[in-house]
Amino acid sequence: EAQVTQNPRYLITVTGKKLTVTCSQNMNHEYMSWYRQDPGLGLRQIYYSMNVEVTDKGDVPEGYKVSRKEKRNFPLILESPSPNQTSLYFCASSLSGTWVTGDTEAFFGQGTRLTVV
């Protein structure tokens, strides 16, 4: 089954404690992206990756890191989480090239609800 898998689904952590949210897709997609969803703000892009070893900042990259060492995985790293990073996070993947032209569908993970206290 084609899917994007995020882990964990729920996470409560303390300020400053490094954490990683994993994202894996089994569709051989080249393009992957991270979004955060906050009430009234919709989805805002954090980082995206056009292919292995190619990443770039989205609209709200501050406080986040990503890496793309393999095509299927795109982890989101919070080196020193703060309460303003409490949010619902989504990973998405899509075919590269066609994503750039817009003519494609994005597949989303189930989401990770992060609370930083």
Partner 1 sequence: AQSVTQLGSHVSVSEGALVLLRCNYSSSVPPYLFWYVQYPNQGLQLLLKYTTGATLVKGINGFEAEFKKSETSFHLTKPSAHMSDAAEYFCAVSIGDMRFGAGTRLTVKP
Site residues, partner 1 (CB under 8 A): 4, 33, 35, 40-45, 48, 90, 92, 99-103, 105-106, 108-111
| 89 exposure class (CB count in 10 Å sphere: 0-12, 13-18, 19+) | buried
Closest distance to partner 1 from the beta carbon of 102 (Å): 3
DSSP H helical segments within the chain, as ranges? Answer: 98-101
Closest distance to partner 1 from the beta carbon of 56 (Å): 10
Q: Which is nearer to partner 1, 2 or 14 (CB)?
A: 2
Strands 10-13 and 112-116: parallel
Q: Which is nearer to partner 1, 23 or 116 (CB)?
A: 23
